[in-house]
């Protein structure tokens, strides 16, 4: 067993996606992995404490210890609530179907 692991750190903006690969010591946490990746230097405005974090699409905490080949994902806040968007679409669909005649 080695004493280092390989990780990826992913951060996406509307017009730019960044994926950084890094080798870090075993026992590194999610937050330490983000700091080691250089992402905070590339995006100095990024406040990791204000964003949700995940590993392969599952929410995680900053103090979670990473495993080899983990991909850390930094999630931006949603602009629109997906539930609200679906509700509106469903309502629009009902209006459109009314008076449509027999099929």
Domains of the chain are: 4-78 (3.10.20.30)
- Predicted TM-score (pTM) of the model is 0.73
pLDDT at 81 over 80: no
Residue of higher predicted confidence among 78 and 18: 18
Residue 82: Cβ within 10 Å count: 8
Tell me which H or E stretch contains 95.
helix 82-97
pLDDT tens, 49-76?
989 999 999 999 999 999 999 999 999 8
Residue pair 48/40 in contact (Cβ under 8 Å)? The answer is yes
Structure tokens belonging to residue 43: 């995006």
Q: What mean pLDDT is predicted for residues 16-35?
A: 96
């Amino acid at each position: 067993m080695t004493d280092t692991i390989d990780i990826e750190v992913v951060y996406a903006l509307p017009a730019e996606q960044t994926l950084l690969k890094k080798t870090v010591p075993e026992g590194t946490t999610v937050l330490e992995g983000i700091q080691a990746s250089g992402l905070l230097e590339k995006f100095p405005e990024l406040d990791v404490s204000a964003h949700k974090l995940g590993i392969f699409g599952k929410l995680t905490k900053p103090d979670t210890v990473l495993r080899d080949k983990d991909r850390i994902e930094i999630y931006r806040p949603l602009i629109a609530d997906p539930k609200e968007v679906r509700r509106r679409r469903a309502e629009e669909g009902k209006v459109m179907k009314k008076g449509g005649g027999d099929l």
